[in-house]
Amino acid sequence: MRRWSIPVALVVAGCGSGAPGPRAQEPGALRSIGYATLACYGTCPVYRVTIHPDGRGVYFGENHVRATGSRPFRI
């Protein structure tokens, strides 16, 4: 039991970080919402979409999609 007490204490002490988490920000301070798909062993589409609160968005197509590359849009 004693041999685990020091490593466990070091691991628990190392869990905290000085960076503020999402809950430490102002309420309603949303920066963006993103969605991404990952590759598979077939022809799955691989793309990312990011939408900002002001209505700007960016689509980035990578594999097995009609439009590849970065495509800005507005909603």
Q: Are 63 and 46 in contact (CB under 8 A)?
A: yes
Q: Report how far Cα 52 is from the mean position of its chain's Cα atoms.
A: 14
Query: Can you tell me the mean pLDDT for 24-52?
Result: 88
For 38-51, the pLDDT digits (tens) are: 999 999 999 999 99
| Start-to-end C-alpha separation, the chain | 59
pTM for this entry: 0.59
Could you tell me the residue ranges of all domains in the chain? 2-74
| Neighbouring residues of 26: CB distance < 8 A, sequence distance ≥ 6 | none
For residues 20 and 26, the model is more confident at 26
